[in-house]
Structure 1
Amino acid sequence: MSTIEKVPTLVFIPCFSGAPWSAEQLAPYGELPRRTLRLPEGVNDIERYADFVENAVADLDDYVLVGDSFGANIALALATRRPQGLRALVVSGGFAANPVDSKPWKALAQVMGKARGLFYRQLTLRAHAHRLASPFDGEGQVPWSEARSREVFLANTPAASFGARVQAVLTADYVEVLGQVQVPTLILTPSHDVLIGENASKIMLAGIPDAREVVLPRTGHMFRFSHPATYATAVKDFLTAVLPTTRQAAGA
């Protein structure tokens, strides 16, 4: 069997919007085999999302999970099950448990999750886009903005799914089982993230046995969208270090 045939498939798990990786976001991965998913609608439990991903990779003998934000929590949940084909894990802007520790923000999140119609489109999504923003969004390979974040949600995220995912976040907690992740893990962290506090990455770094963190300077929570080449370079560097068979396909 040739080296290229042994390269695991990168499986990209979306953020809270549910939108799969775009061609622009996938292009920097070169010849690495890849698969992207769209999250199912109306699901309010991380374990059920993990079931969905597990079914989606059932035909793969070797794969790497790459989860972004909400998708990172899903990827982490699946990794704690120690699936046979999993070779490595990448979590970006992610968390092991609900990252919102402010009681007022928790209460507001629940209200936002119940919004529908004009209130959802004009207030909830604008407030959420503001929380996602960073001062560095306009500096990336794809200049980003709060308006563009809101557009992603308008195009991909029904209000009922937004609300269901809020409930999933509020009840997620994998802190006590992080030790069950038994594959090399990259914690990819933006340098500026209002939505996800700095403790989230520290908890994962302390709890996952073979974890390392890379902080990407001058990036924000939406760095999958604004800095796709920078993001991909960090992922490829990690994979070529822990999975040498990916070197040629990654263009290293």
Structure 2
Amino acid sequence: MNTSEKIPTLVFIPCFSGAPWSAEQLAPYGDAPTRTLRLPEGVDDMERYADYVQEVVADLDDWVLVGDSFGANIALAVATRRPKGLRALVVSGGFAANPVTSKSWKAVMRAIGKARGPFYRQLTLRAHAHRLASPFDREGQVYWSEARSRELFLENTPAASFGARVRAAMTADYVGVLGRIQVPTLILTPSHDVLIGEDASKVMLAGIPDAHEVVLPRTGHMFRFSHPVGYADAVQDFLTTVPTTSPTAGQAARA
């Protein structure tokens, strides 16, 4: 990206917790214009999340969408609509369809999505934090741990919203429409991800026409939190390769 050209707004979509990206995570992007958001509560349909994101960016005419984990699935949903002004797409630790194929794990997901009260706080969130963890979480620029992941959800995610997002993640499937995404796409993948697995990025890489993958070594699913500088460096390196005009500019007028 030519620095003399207009810099697009970087729009950051949160993970499953729903919490907006923090100042600590946005700081490595320097003076680039940024925008983040909190996910709406109690929504169990990925298309409705995509509707909300499009409301948030309605005033922008040049923007890049960056979605992490659950937010990556939302970002894919938005990008398949080819919204006006979308210049590029970044998805990290994400999936085009529910990456859990095991019937037993699907049953567990449904069960934990229904937990409330102490069962949610003490069982669901501890189990979820354990699935998010990797051996590399404590090696990054920010100390991270299972306890910090659980705290993130305790502070930001009501049990009803956790359950609603489980239902959204289990039912959303964009594999068949990935070809509609017509912007340069970075698939940013941690080297260790028990929650999502190895196949999810392969599906996106095969389905999105102008996509490439970068695997960050010695990182886990929570690398946006534990390795914010390395994560941002990968995003910014990608943006230097992106054309200075949006492929979606003027599409709405031609529709």
- Residue aligning to 2:249: none
Structure 1 residues not aligned, in runs of 5+: 246-252
What does 1:176-215 correspond to in 2, within 5 Å?
Answer: 176-215=176-215
Q: Report what 1:248 is aligned to.
A: none
Answer yes or no: is the 8 Å Cα contact 2:15–2:67 preserved in 1: yes
Q: Distance in 2 between matches of 1:172 and 1:197?
A: 17
Offset at 1:53?
0.1
Aligned to 2:60: 60
Separation in 1, partners of 2:176, 2:228:
32
CA contact (8 A) 2:5 2:244 kept: no
- Offset of residue 27 of structure 1: 0.3
Match of 1:141 in 2: 141
The letter for the 2-side match of 1:44 is: D
User: 2:115 aligns to what?
Assistant: 115
| 8 Å Cα contact 2:90-2:187 kept in structure 1 | yes
SS at match of 2:141: coil
Q: TM-score, normalised by structure 2?
A: 0.94
In structure 2, distance between residues paired with 1:100 and 1:64: 28
The sequence identity of aligned pairs, in percent, is: 82
Deviation at 1:168, TM superposition (A): 0.1
- What's the CA shift for 1:152? 0.2
Q: Are the structure 2 counterparts of residues 6 and 146 from structure 1 closer, same or farther at C-alpha, using a change threshold of 3 Å?
A: same
The more displaced of 177-186 and 235-244 is 235-244
Match of 1:33 in 2: 33
Structure 1 residue 84, shift from structure 2 partner: 1.1
Q: CA RMSD in A?
A: 1.3
Q: Measured at CA, do residues 84 and 128 of structure 1 come closer, stay the same or move farther in structure 2, by a change above 3 Å? A: same
Residues 192-245 of structure 1: CA deviation (Å, up to 9, x unaligned): 000001100000000000000000000000000000000000000000111469
Distance (whole Å) between structure 2 residues aligned to residue 74 and residue 122 of structure 1: 28
**Aligned residues, how many?**
244
Match of 1:103 in 2: 103
Aligned residue runs from structure 1 range 205-244, under 5 A: 205-243=205-243
Q: State the distance in 1 between where 2:188 and 2:124 align.
A: 27
Measure how far apart 1:172 and its partner are: 0.7
1:5: Cα distance to partner? 6.7
* Alignment match, 1:130: 130
CA distance in 2, matches of 1:23, 1:84: 27
Superposed CA deviations along residues 100-140 of structure 1, whole A, max 9, x for unmatched, are 11111100000000000000000000000000000000000
* Structure 2 stretches lacking a partner, 5+ long: 246-255
Q: Indicate whether 1:90 and 2:87 are aligned.
A: no
Deviations for 1:6-54, whole angstroms, at most 9, x for unmatched residues?
Answer: 2110000000000111000000001111001100000000000000000
Cα displacement string for residues 132-177 of structure 1 (whole angstroms, at most 9, x for unaligned residues): 0000000000010000000000000000000000000010100000
AA aligned to 1:67 is G
**TM-score normalised according to structure 1 size:** 0.95
**Alignment check: 8 A CA contact 2:134 2:220 kept:** yes
Counting helix residues as a fraction of each chain, which structure ranks higher?
1
